[in-house]
Amino acid sequence: MSYTTIQISAETRARLAKLKSYGRETYDDLLNSLLDLVPSGDDEGEYTGEFRASLVRSLSDFRHGRTHSLEDVRRKLGIK
């Protein structure tokens, strides 16, 4: 297996280190475990890589409060 180097901030590396299951777990194993959490498909078939990435971005947006509730949108648009 070949390896590559990626650039991440020290903050990101520290966050990843906190997620390790055990001290000697490699970052490759950790990242693969995290990637396995992203659903690969549903009853209708496999998701594209682009769609899977959008699911992760959407979840991040939701967790960081970068979304609007349906009620907020209705109020802003004047819809009852």
Which pTM does this prediction carry? Answer: 0.68
CA dihedral for 40, 45, 49, 54, sign (positive or negative): negative
- Segments of 1-80 assigned E as strands: 41-42, 45-46
Q: Where are the domains of the chain?
A: 6-37, 41-80
pLDDT single digits (tens) 22-50: 999 999 999 999 999 999 999 999 999 99
53 pLDDT band (50/70/90 cuts)? very high
pLDDT value of position 65: 94
